[in-house]
Amino acid sequence: MADMTVEFLGMRFRNPVLPAAGPNVRDGEHLLEAAEGGAGGLLSKTISVDAAPVPMPHMAAIRGGFINTELWSELPPERWLGKEYSIARSAADEAGIPLIISLGYTAQEIAQLAPKLKPWADALELSTHYLGEDPRPMIEAIDAAKSALDVPVLVKMSPLGREMKAAAQAAKEAGADGISATNSFGPAFGLNVETGYPWLGGKNSYGWLSGPALKPLSLRCVYDIAQAVDLPIIGVGGISNGKDAIEYIMAGASLVGVCTAAIMRGSGIYGIIAREMEKWLDDHGYPSVEEIRALALPEAAGEARHG
């Protein structure tokens, strides 16, 4: 059987499949379910200094994907600090896996929140993906996190409003230890033709696209980032099965994040994807998941063709 463990920023993951920050890990109980469902590590829903407003309805399945109006956690940070992170930490410890905590968005907000996370966080993921092309807010956010807490810091990037290679290089120069790519894409819009009403509530009824339709965009971002910097990557976007995850690993990711598939199919999906990856590796004669990492990058692909 292939070795599915991954060493990532000094942390050991039992397999490469994590929950991505989103409604699938909206509280401690859902993080516990992710651990019991076979996730290789845990990653919590993004928090900020205030709870996020959640318009209704806020999720809709569409052909080939999913749209939602979710932002960051609808729970206030005090709830996470007082209850949810303790549940998540216990679940991670019981399973012997790391816990990455996601937070955002500005440097000021991160500086306020990050020091409070010390009892629970093995690493931080900074959600700066709404901040556009100017790298300065991202750089300032990284500096705030690194100054506040002595754990690895990852930056989450969006396929919207950024040139991936330049953004990744700026993140590395600012001291980021790793990158998550990507977040959902949008704004997006869906309409129910039977009622004439939009699928989603909220301002303009706009949402964010995720699920299988997003995979080619996100996969390209991971591929670009892996060629631009030598930072470890969590690949996120449209992963529904083991072969999807294999693609991300071959494109340069070390870990993968799953959100929409967990919303649609439940927390057991993390273990299902990991087992499908393991079977694919066994069927193709690879002794470990590390053996296929970055195989699709031009240098590795060239070596394979001429080896």
Q: Note the pLDDT of residue 70.
A: 81
The set of residues, in sequence order, having a beta carbon less than 8 Å from that of 141 and lying 6+ positions away, is 104, 105, 106, 107, 110, 126, 128, 155
Assess whether the previous peptide bond of 23 is cis (omega < 30° from 0): no
Q: Note the pLDDT of residue 307.
A: 46
Q: Note the pLDDT of residue 302.
A: 54
CA separation for the pair 224, 234 (Å, rounded): 13
Domain architecture of the chain: domains with CATH = 6-306 (3.20.20.70)
The number of CA neighbours under 13 Å toward the Cβ of 194 is 1
Q: What angle do CA 274, 8, 151 make, to 5 degrees?
A: 130
Which pTM value belongs to this model?
A: 0.93
Residue length, the chain?
Answer: 307
Q: Note the pLDDT of residue 305.
A: 43
Q: Note the pLDDT of residue 56.
A: 85
The set of residues, in sequence order, having a beta carbon less than 8 Å from that of 89 and lying 6+ positions away, is 99, 119, 120
Q: What is the pLDDT along the chain (307 residues), one digit of tens a residue?
A: 999 999 999 999 999 999 999 999 999 999 999 999 999 999 999 999 999 888 888 888 888 888 888 879 999 999 999 999 999 999 999 999 999 999 999 999 999 999 999 999 999 999 976 556 788 889 999 999 999 999 999 999 887 656 889 989 999 999 999 999 998 888 889 888 899 998 888 778 898 899 999 999 999 999 999 999 999 999 999 999 999 999 999 999 999 999 999 999 999 999 999 999 999 999 999 999 999 999 999 876 555 444 4
